[in-house]
Structure 1
Amino acid sequence: MSSPAATAPSNQPPAPRRGAVLSWALWDWGSSAFNAVMTTFVFTVWLTSPAFGPTEHSSTLLAWGLSLSGLVLAVIAPVLGQRSDASNRRRLWLAVNTGVVVLLCLCGALVTPDPGHLLLGIGIIAAATLFFELASVDYNAMLSDVSTPASAGRVSGFGWAMGYLGGIVALVIVLFGFIKPAFGLPVPQEDGWPFRLTALFSGIWFLAFALPLLVRGTGAAPQAPRSAPAGLLESYRILWRRLASLWRTDRHAIYFLGASAVFRDGLAAIFTLGGVIAVGTFGFTQAQVIVFAIAGNVVAALGALVGGRLEDRLGPKRIVMGSLVGLLIAAAGLLALGAGTHRVGGLEWTATTTFWVFGLFLCLFVGPAQSSSRSYLLRIAPAGHESEFFGLYATTGRAVSFLAPTLFGAFIVLGGQQIHGVIGIALVLAAGLALLAPIREPAVRRDEVRA
């Protein structure tokens, strides 16, 4: 890896066309169906319902499945990431991995509400999560094609906002189109068809909005392949050399990569397992989960906007640390009150109230933690080496992507109840906070252009 002293080219690249930015952001809009519907609030919640057996058992198996997916991801990520970089065929690999995710979503229609189909459903979710993460690598790398150094933050934020908005629209369609069909829609309610049709919808939705980017691309000029792809062992040697070079030049960057990998795994677990906990512990119905998800996405978007404004004055590290503290407070509230009924000031505080209050409080801090973490890395990345740093960011995140799901499942086994899995997620967030605390606040890069 080149020294951070390397300077960016003196001439700024031309501003990308708005159509290219929109095509890029529409992939995020479409992918929201997989994130919000399949892995967070609908399909995985159904898989952990009594129709598939005891909730604790199915929740534990789901956590193990996601852990295995994370381990496989950590092993193959360096190879596939470097092959994509070396061949300069990001759009091809984005199309391949997106296509696999779409097919797996469609296969979700084969799952029926029977304990014998639990492993099939978990296998579909685990495999789709693996390929979605691989697709996200090339998608995020394309940010450099649709933005300039002066607009990267705005364009990235636009894509993030499109994802939140797309999730809200997809959840509304699922709620009134399949779960509680309105307007006389003829949706069969037996044999799990509302959820099976939801899986079909998710695949079609993702494909429809991914097509503009997959077909048209970003409009960036194609580049010739740089080198032959490296093998597995050589990929890890290259990764080690890059990390060793970074250790010599900027150790705080290494520290941040490690800390962010840990707390980002906790954030991912919140999205993946939040709906499961709402139903299994707090007694939410499927429709209530979707309504909460819509409200949660709105709160998360508002949190990200406010956090972004505060970051300009306080710096990204303070925003991330404050967000992690807020998440831990929310987790403590869920654990302390649990699914019981309490009297607060003469009023009855139910399990549903507990989840609405502390769940939305949690959503408020998820967006700022994610967006400011990405901003932190952008500030410490040497000019001209942003993609390389974000590649390390992705690789280190995958290396520990099994932590939170594993601890979630382990604490369910140890405690005997699903709510105890929250302890595992909270421990991962607390570990990330502790690792982040001694790291210095990044200075604004000399070449950074503020809007």
Structure 2
Amino acid sequence: MTEVLTTPEAGGKLRRQRLGWYGYAWASHTFEATVITVFMSRYLPSTAENAVGENGRLHVLGIPIAPGSLFTYVISLCSISLFIVLPVMGAIADRTGRKRGMLLTFGYLGAFSVTAMWFIGEKDWQLGSILLIIAYLTYSAAKVVANSLLSDLADADQRDKISSIGWATGYIGGGLLLALNFVFSFMIDDKALLARVSLSSAGIWWAIFALIPVFLLRNLPRSRPERKIEGSVVTAGFRELGDTFRKLRAYPQSLLFLVAFLVYYDGISTVTALAADYGEKELLLSDETLLSAILIVQFAAFGGALLLGRLSGRWGAKRVISYSLVVWIGVVVAAYFLQAGSAVQFYILAMLLSIVMGGTQALSRSLYSSMIPRGKEAEFFSLYEVSSSGTSALGPLLFGLALQNTGSYRIAIVSLIVFFVAGLLILLKVNVHKAITAAGNTVPASLSGSK
């Protein structure tokens, strides 16, 4: 197994590469914070309502869609597409070793798509849907590559810390732009114009700060030498993907953790993506309240990621993640009982959510990275990214169906509790020590002698 080098010369190079990796998180997290969590989840449904009326129906391929559910259905479509696209893309990344080029190519495609959201008019739900699909898929593809680099940038005992710093840096970057959007909300009375300005600013921010990894992520270490590719890289990618699925049987505990993650993160991503929509439609909160609450979450999640990262050094990542899922269950239940118009209650719940959100994300990534074989990081993280790219298929689909059939946002939000309960029960069955040793990796000190 290849270990991260720690000689003085290699150490300086490694620090620069880590800074480049943090820099990409700083640049790209604006997609999750500004585009998914705040503006597109509300602006896209509003364009649909402007086109057909609040009680009308959109017709896509003969399927009637309620305007208020358009965003959740688009995200579900994207997530289903990821099942096909990302594993092949991950196989190509591992096969060619050109991770820096792929990270920046997909990253800039996503940034330009988000910048182009400036052109979404008040009835342009088709253009909005197309740009969201492009941005979502390219953002997810770039994130697969970024996550796969963690094994090259940190050894077993550093991985929780480096992953936590990466997530924390992303939250600060996303939070600063969101703070600027908050200032815009006091200057721009037109909600549609505010959404377009904020969305396009996220793309510009992403593109500008992606220059950091352009310069610092040079000469990345490779888990294995580049191999000669027979035929096209796409064909080779499908071959590698087939090989990965065949070998999954050799890593049953890693597969079990992946299943647990797919389940509980589906709930996490859906709650965070639809929090603003829930606050506006059900709790009748103002834009200023929603933006300020989500802004608080971004900065508080910075501290939460670092805090849970430190706790994992004492108790292990699995135990900390398990406790955080219990908190998530409490968050969903509390959200059902929030009083309409109560900004204070919304702020309190946002603070509670922020403590566990960043840490759950960071520790899940670092724990999974220790359970997968070297040289297959991008392929295995492509399966992981199907759910961790902001939201997955079943969560928003369940939320959308509950909303469409009951008309109640409260029932829709509390229905998501099933993902946290099921994910926690599956996670508790994972033998982490066995998963790490089966993958041929070093067991971190915090997990020695534990499951």
Quote the Cα distance in structure 2 between the aligned partners of 1:436 and 1:373.
11
Larger mean CA deviation between 91-100 and 211-220 belongs to 211-220
Alpha carbons 1:408, 1:423 under 8 Å: kept? no
Change (3 A) 1:430 1:209: same
Q: Which sits farther off after the overlay, 17-26 or 52-61? A: 52-61
User: Which residue pairs with 1:388 in the alignment?
Assistant: 376
Q: Give the match for residue 308 of structure 1.
A: 309
CA RMSD of superposed structures (Å):
3.0
- Name whichever of 404-413 and 139-148 sits farther off: 139-148
Q: For 2:433, what is the secondary structure of its paired residue?
A: coil
Distance 1:256 1:290, change over 3 A: same
Deviations 1:314-335 (A, max 9, x none): 2222211211111111111111
Are the equivalent residues in 1 in contact too, given 2:152–2:221 (CA < 8 A)? no
Give me the whole-angstrom Cα distance separating, in 1, the residues matched to 2:444 and 2:409.
47
Within 1, Cα distance between the matches of 2:327 and 2:212?
38
1:72 CA drift (Å): 0.9
Q: TM-score scaled by structure 1? A: 0.83
Which of 98, 104, 117 is residue 95 of structure 1 equivalent to?
A: 104
State whether structure 2 residue 405 is matched by structure 1 residue 405.
no
Aligned ranges 1:218-367 → 2 under 5 Å: 218-220=218-220, 224-228=226-230, 235=237, 238-248=240-250, 250-335=251-336, 337-340=337-340, 350-367=341-358
Aligned residue for 2:162? 155
Any conservation in 2 of the 1:27–1:209 contact (CA below 8 Å)?
yes
**Identity percentage of aligned residues:** 22
Q: Is the 8 A contact 1:82 1:229 kept in 2?
A: no
**3-state SS, counterpart of residue 42 of structure 1:** helix
Deviation at 1:371, TM superposition (A): 2.1
- 1:74 is matched with which residue: 63, 69, 83? 83
2:205 corresponds to? 205
**Unmatched runs of 5 consecutive residues or more in structure 2:** 56-64, 447-451
Separation in 2, partners of 1:11, 1:128: 35
Could you say what secondary structure the match of 2:195 adopts? helix
CA distance in 1, matches of 2:305, 2:17: 24
TM-score, normalisation: structure 2: 0.83
Q: After superposing the two structures, state which structure 1 stretch, 203-212 or 222-231, moved more.
A: 222-231
**Aligned mates of 1:28, 1:378 — CA distance in 2:** 17
SS of aligned partner of 1:439? coil
- Comparing 286-295 with 361-370, greater Cα deviation is found at 361-370
| Cα offsets for 1:349-399 (capped at 9, x unmatched) | x54333223233222222222222223224434xxx345256324315517
Supply the distance in 1 between the matched residues of 2:170 and 2:202 (Cα, whole angstroms): 14
Query: Which residue in the other structure is 2:182 paired with?
Result: 175
CA spacing shift, 1:144–1:88, aligned 2, 3 Å: same
Query: What does 1:16-95 align with in structure 2 at a 5 Å threshold?
Result: 16-49=13-46, 52=50, 53-54=53-54, 57-95=66-104
| Distance apart, 1:406 and its partner CA | 1.0
Structure 2: distance between partners of 1:407 and 1:233: 35
- Take 1:11 and 1:291, find their aligned partners in 2: how far apart are those partners? 43
Cα pair 1:109 1:196 within 8 Å, conserved? yes
